[in-house]
Structure 1
């Protein structure tokens, strides 16, 4: 699962990639999942959102990617109000979402799944270039390009899901629980690839339960509990915080 040194063909205008959430509330019917969340991600940053199951982490990414509308608050990306932008239009704005559990098309080949990621007209024109970039990042996918995605291992499926997101040429990548269901050695490899991706200049927002791992690859992090941000700061500071170590890292 090695990653070759290879620059992304393009990552868009990074200066326009600032994401800002202010007072965001969201939920499902009568169930309130987010309560006044404030969060920002600067261009070129890697930011984590950590917390236990049920904290609202996946809901937060669903709101950012337009799959769930907030009931209150503001959501801006590059200065543009996102609350009325349909989900299918967000890849064209430079936002790509790697959902929890990968959500690949299992009967389509690896290459066909990558084509799905390049569905926008602007992305179709650069399909071959971006496909080669993805294959340089993930040589295993190149070897399995004609293999149905459903027959890949869990780690390979995660590679394919990240590769599919990169096919749109995003400026910001939203990663939802990339380590979920993977063996510990594969988890280490996935986070190494996240580090490689952000070294290329891509802005990354990553939601994770694996607090120890994610704090090693992000610049800053937010701690989410029952839909509220209860702590935020530089990753190194959070990792050294006694309360965080006790509650999330199992250390005293």
Structure 2
């Protein structure tokens, strides 16, 4: 499957009179893992909402390959290969694990390959196979995050958007979630991850953008950002 580049240029977006993003641009090439890091309220979730069609930008362009994302309804995006794992997971708590995964395969092309995708997800997350009949709402936070990522993988995406995957999880579970991100990357999937946990995310991405008050204030490779004095003092507790 040929890769497609995600490209944003001059994105301005917000809610009513409130502007959350100011002329934001970024690129994610096929097979790359890219992070967007920054403090709470920086506009990270808004950025993912623009990419996944839930929020239309007021200015700028967002493209995935040849597709103009602003011209597509949000429900059409899985069909072109974009899967979004939202903040706080947003599972259906009263449905079983397997039923939640089935929801991820709602597009016609995914329905045809449901059994093989289910095997793939259960291979990636053996814990979910053990719990396939369990109600999603009764699982631990880490298991729910696995289920949310598994649900997104059910539609064979080309790019996976992860919104704050470590939020509300214990440190040990956070390490497990980021190990999963590395496994997903090893499968060749493109990943865009927004995260407050800067130290962890810089270990698993190739490059990152630093978002502050709705603007990109720095960008570079993981190594460049990890050694940048400004980034170290602001986010990594270093000097």
Specify the alignment match of 2:235 in structure 1.
Answer: 248
Which residue of structure 1 aligns with residue 205 of structure 2? 218
**Post-superposition offset of 1:200:** 0.5
| Aligned: 1:205 with 2:162 | no
What RMSD over aligned residues (CA atoms) do the two structures have, in Å? 0.5
Kept in 2, the 8 Å contact 1:13–1:171? The answer is no
5+ long unaligned stretches in structure 2: none
Q: Match for residue 9 of structure 1? A: none
d(CA) in 1 for partners of 2:162, 2:67: 21
How far the C-alpha of 1:250 sits from its partner, in A, is: 1.0
SS at match of 1:66: coil
The answer on 1:184 being equivalent to 2:171 is yes
Which of 227, 235, 238 is the equivalent residue of 2:214?
227
Picking from 13, 21, 25, the partner of 2:2 is 13
User: C-alpha separation between the residues in 1 aligned to 2:20 and 2:138?
Assistant: 35
Alignment partners' CA distance in 2, 1:13 and 1:141: 30
Which of 27, 43, 59 is the aligned partner of 2:46?
A: 59
Number of the residue aligned with 1:143: 130
Match of 2:140 in 1: 153
Which digits, 9 at most, give the CA deviation of each residue in 1:64-122, with x for residues without a partner?
A: 00000000000110122111100000000000000000000000000000000000000
Q: Distance in 2 between matches of 1:171 and 1:100?
A: 20
Work out whether 1:174 is the aligned partner of 2:161: yes
1:91 correspondence with 2:78: yes
Structure-2 separation of matches of 1:100 and 1:221:
19
Could you tell me which of 102, 105, 114 is aligned with 1:118?
105
TM-score, scaled relative to structure 1: 0.94
Runs (4 or more) in structure 1 with deviation over 2 Å come to none
* SS of aligned partner of 2:142: helix
Q: Does the alignment pair 1:101 with 2:103?
A: no
The aligned residue for residue 132 of structure 1 is 119
Q: Is the 8 A contact 1:50 1:209 kept in 2?
A: yes
Instruction: Give the TM-score normalised by the residue count of structure 2.
Output: 0.99
1:26 Cα shift?
0.2
Unaligned runs of 5+ in 1: 1-11
State the distance in 1 between where 2:212 and 2:74 align: 26
CA distance, structure 1, for counterparts of residue 111 and residue 214 of structure 2: 38
What is the number of residues matched between the two proteins?
239
- Is the Cα contact below 8 Å between 1:36 and 1:73 reproduced in 2? yes
Q: Equivalents in 1 of 2:60, 2:131: separation in Å?
A: 44
> What is the rounded CA distance, in whole Å, between the counterparts of 1:229 and 1:88 in structure 2?
28
